[in-house]
């Protein structure tokens, strides 16, 4: 039984307000540390965070029309996020299709519960209803790969590299 059953779980779009930006930025830094801390050297992780999650750069990413940011909350506490984006290197198998990428699908370790994961996933999928394909590029040991495969995403053959961080990754594709 889920320990989050009696809690209010909601996933919603993150708008580029000062409060939302600060909340999302702080959450992303926490999640990047959790997600990549064991995989990267400290300096490499710090450089990655400084480059992509400094406030000025991040505000431009939040305001970019190619990105839609979604946050999942448990009892009004932000515990995870995802980004649905048209940016990134489209896999050859779908490069002629209307496609988007679910990027950065992350939830804090202590909140990795099926209801929370499903809430964030469902909100992402609701944004993808007008495309022919969805792809995900995640580092090889990402625990969400199995979840996405259970939803019909198929792992592409070959080796990929996670955007701008240099970790070996897998590409998963869902064709409608």
- Residue 5 pLDDT exceeds 80: no
Mean pLDDT of 32-50: 89
Token digits of residue 149: 């495969």
- At 9-30, the pLDDT tens digits run 999 999 888 888 999 999 999 9
**pLDDT above 90 covers what percent of the chain?**
59
Rounded Cα–Cα distance for residues 162 and 171 (Å): 9
- Residue 160 pLDDT exceeds 80: no
Contacts of 148 (CB under 8 A, 6+ apart): 136, 172, 174
* pLDDT mean across residues, the chain: 90
CA atoms in the 13 A half-sphere facing the CB of 28: 25
- Residue 1 pLDDT exceeds 60: no
Q: Which CATH number fits domain 9-175: 2.40.30.10, 3.40.630.30, 1.10.10.10, 3.30.365.10?
A: 3.40.630.30
Tokens 């590029």 map to which residue? 137
Rounded Cα–Cα distance for residues 137 and 156 (Å): 10
- Residue 130 pLDDT exceeds 70: yes
- At 136-154, the pLDDT tens digits run 998 888 889 999 999 999 9
* pLDDT value at residue 101: 95
* pLDDT value at residue 161: 67
For the chain, which residues make up each domain, given as ranges? 9-175
By CB atoms closer than 10 A (0-12, 13-18, 19+), residue 37 is exposed
* pLDDT value at residue 109: 95
């Amino acid at each position: 039984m889920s320990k989050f059953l009696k809690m209010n779980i909601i996933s919603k779009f993150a708008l580029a307000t000062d409060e939302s930006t600060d909340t999302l930025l702080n959450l992303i830094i926490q999640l990047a540390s959790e997600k990549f801390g064991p995989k990267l050297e400290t300096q490499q992780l710090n450089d990655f965070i400084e480059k992509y999650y400094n406030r000025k750069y991040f505000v431009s990413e939040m305001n970019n029309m190619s990105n839609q940011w979604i946050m999942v909350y448990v009892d009004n506490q932000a515990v995870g996020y995802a980004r649905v984006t048209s940016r990134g290197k489209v896999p050859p198998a779908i490069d002629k299709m209307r496609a988007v990428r679910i990027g950065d699908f992350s939830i804090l370790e202590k909140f990795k519960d099926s209801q929370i994961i499903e809430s964030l996933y469902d909100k992402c999928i609701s944004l993808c209803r007008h495309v022919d394909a969805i792809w995900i590029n995640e580092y090889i040991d990402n625990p969400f790969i199995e979840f996405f495969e259970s939803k019909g995403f198929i792992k592409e053959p070959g080796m990929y590299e996670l955007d701008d961080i240099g970790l070996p990754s897998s590409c998963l594709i869902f064709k409608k």
